[in-house]
Amino acid sequence: MTAKKLGLKQRYAHMTRGLDWETTYQPMDKVFPYDTFEGIKIRDWSQWEDPFRLTMDAYWKFQAEKERKLYAVLDAFAQNNGQTNLSDGRYVNVVKLFLTGISPEEYQAHRGFAFAGRHLRGVGPRVAAQMQSLDELRHVQTQIHTISHYNKYFDGIGEFPHMHDRVWYLSVPKSFFDDARTAGPFEYMIAIGFAFEYLLTNLLFVPFMSGAAYNGDMSTVTFGFSAQSDESRHMTLGIEVIKFLLEQHPDNLPIVQKWVDKWFWRGHRMLGLVAMMMDYMLPKKVMSWKEAWDIYFTEAGGSLFQDLARYGLKVPKYADVATAEAEHISHQNWAVFYQYTHAAAFHTWMPDKEHLDWLSEKYPNTFDKYYRPRWEMWAQMEKDGKRFYNMALPQLCNTCQIPMAYTEPGDPTTIAFRESRFNGDTYHFCSDGCKDIFDGEPEKFAQSWLPVHQIFQGACGGPTVPDVLNWYRLNNGADNLDYVGSPDEKLWNQWMAGAVKAAG
């Protein structure tokens, strides 16, 4: 007689049986010290529904299969010199931004979910968080493998982990995750699981993966597909955690709302880098940042918050400000990198006329009035041999750590300045959103490691720009400055000339 096969649900129950035992040698509160101090009240952990019911053995099998397919494509890409089929050599700078700005955060997410998986006492979220932790580790590894091929040819890639901890603009994503990981496990789950992986993830991954597809980067596209089934699990965990917390106790609502407000705004600020990538860095454009924001935040996020309204949860504070900013942030951010190109580990360039016309068309309300003149002025300066650089260091926002380049809501001609006093000192912010976050936890944000201030304190290799670049391990003259005139451009032009010659 053969044994009867178990159904999926039975099998899952069997495999996870007893994972949530009550400890007897030590009190449960000592074994799980982190899941009470944030003030979240849980009545019944068993109410957590895990719709995937994925067991560890199935997880390994499934992931191993995906890895095999991914690495087959990566091998083929390398053997066929796939890098020569890109739309343009400029595109590689998108890959550089991804590897330096996003991949290290996959690793931070791995660490964060490992922590949540250890410290939440309910078995459902523990298993889900542990699997997500493994996913994130796999993502950072496959991203490094995918992009390592570009490292054979292009500058600015090889020192990405070192740069992550030091370079001024990489402190933006780094401090975002540092903030999440130094919070309690529930705030972490709302910050990364809900706000980032559920609410905003489409604004991160769709632009990068579609951008890759449009621009001939088949290796990154394949990585994106490989990660997609994980992402749907992550999104489910993100929505599950918020519903669970709101259903467990009414006292959780104000705490959760505060976190949603905070992490929406922090996420919005960080995604400004993606906005700039979409509008300025893709040689072949997918859609504008404003269009992406309208689809993935205004429409999709709108229906999500309608759904969550039954728990009393409101649309994040300043969502309206963020939507209004979708007209401006890509232009303001690319302007930052254009003038600080000497200190960036990727190349910048002046948008050409066709590109400016595309921006005028996509941003009819704002581009011609506020931003086109800026590019035309700088283009004229370039032509006159006076390419515009900003040779001073920028004032940074004490919360998001981005140069204070954002303008007043409703007035794109005036920088928004906000400040708070704490413990006898002044702290500056780029927006009401960032000021509110500081005011909610000034003890935490008074400790911000702000790159500009650290340079002045003598903590970054020396007082001059070359000293600091050296400390960043940024190869001055190759990794930084404009694409035009760079070793990257020279190599790309050689390849293209060779292709023309071969075609006769």
Partner 1 sequence: MSVTAITPDYQKHIEFRDLEKNFHGNRLVYVHWEEHLSFCSAIAFPLPGAMPFSAFVDEVIKPHYAAHPDAGNIDWAKVVWMIDGVKTMPDMSKSLEENGMRHKSLVRFWTPGLNGFKGSAS
Q: Which of residues 94-133 bind partner 1 (CB under 8 A)?
A: none
Min dist CB 223 to partner 1, Å, is: 33
Residue 46 makes contact with partner 1 by CB under 8 A: no
Give me the 132-161 binding string for partner 1, x by CB under 8 A, dash otherwise.
------------------------------
CB-based contacts of 42, cutoff 8 Å, min separation 6: 35, 122, 248, 249
The helix/strand/coil state of 415 is: strand
Residue 67: is it exposed, middle or buried by C-beta count within 10 angstroms (0-12/13-18/19+)? middle
Residue 432 makes contact with partner 1 by CB under 8 A: no
As a dihedral over the C-alpha atoms of residue 288, residue 290, residue 296, residue 300, rounded to 10 degrees, the angle is: -140
User: According to the 3-state scheme, what is the secondary structure of 60-75?
Assistant: HHHHHHHHHHHHHHHH
Q: Which of residues 70-99 bind partner 1 (CB under 8 A)?
A: none
Applying CB under 8 A, the site for partner 1 has a residue count of 60
CA distance 397 to 91: 29
Min dist CB 314 to partner 1, Å, is: 21
Min dist CB 412 to partner 1, Å, is: 8
**Selected binder of partner 1 within 27, 39, 250, 462 (CB under 8 A):** 39
Report the residue number, 320 or 467, with the smaller CB distance to partner 1: 467
Report the residue number, 211 or 412, with the smaller CB distance to partner 1: 412
**Selected binder of partner 1 within 29, 376, 408, 467 (CB under 8 A):** 376
The closest alpha carbon to 193, from 112, 103, 253, belongs to: 112
Residue 449 makes contact with partner 1 by CB under 8 A: yes
Q: Tokens 């998108």 — which residue?
A: 94
Residue 379 makes contact with partner 1 by CB under 8 A: no
Residue 394 makes contact with partner 1 by CB under 8 A: yes
Contact 483, 93 (CB under 8 A): yes
**CA 192 remoteness from chain centre:** 10
Report the residue number, 326 or 455, with the smaller CB distance to partner 1: 455
Min dist CB 129 to partner 1, Å, is: 18
Residue 456 makes contact with partner 1 by CB under 8 A: yes
From 62-70, 81-89, 169-177, 403-411, span contacting partner 1 (CB under 8 A)? 403-411
Residue 408 makes contact with partner 1 by CB under 8 A: no
CA distance 445 to 187: 16
Q: What is the CA radius of gyration of the chain?
A: 24
CB-based contacts of 102, cutoff 8 Å, min separation 6: 143, 173, 204, 208
From 245-253, 358-366, 409-417, 494-502, span contacting partner 1 (CB under 8 A)? 409-417
Residue 405 makes contact with partner 1 by CB under 8 A: yes
CA distance 493 to 485: 11
From 44-52, 213-221, 271-279, 332-340, span contacting partner 1 (CB under 8 A)? 332-340
**Selected binder of partner 1 within 8, 10, 29, 37 (CB under 8 A):** 37
Min dist CB 410 to partner 1, Å, is: 14
**Selected binder of partner 1 within 5, 425, 501, 504 (CB under 8 A):** 425
- CA distances to 20, 171, 241 from 31, in Å: 12, 34, 22
Q: Tell me which amino acid residue 211 is.
A: G
Residue 22 makes contact with partner 1 by CB under 8 A: no
- What length does the chain have? 504
Min dist CB 470 to partner 1, Å, is: 20
**CA 133 remoteness from chain centre:** 17
CA distance 33 to 23: 13
Contact 446, 420 (CB under 8 A): no
Residue 385 makes contact with partner 1 by CB under 8 A: no
The helix/strand/coil state of 418 is: strand
Min dist CB 447 to partner 1, Å, is: 5
CA distance 50 to 233: 10
Site residues, partner 1 (CB under 8 A): 33-34, 37-39, 184, 332, 335-336, 339, 369-370, 373-374, 376-378, 381, 386, 388-396, 403-405, 407, 412-415, 417, 419, 423, 425-428, 439-444, 446-450, 452-454, 456-458
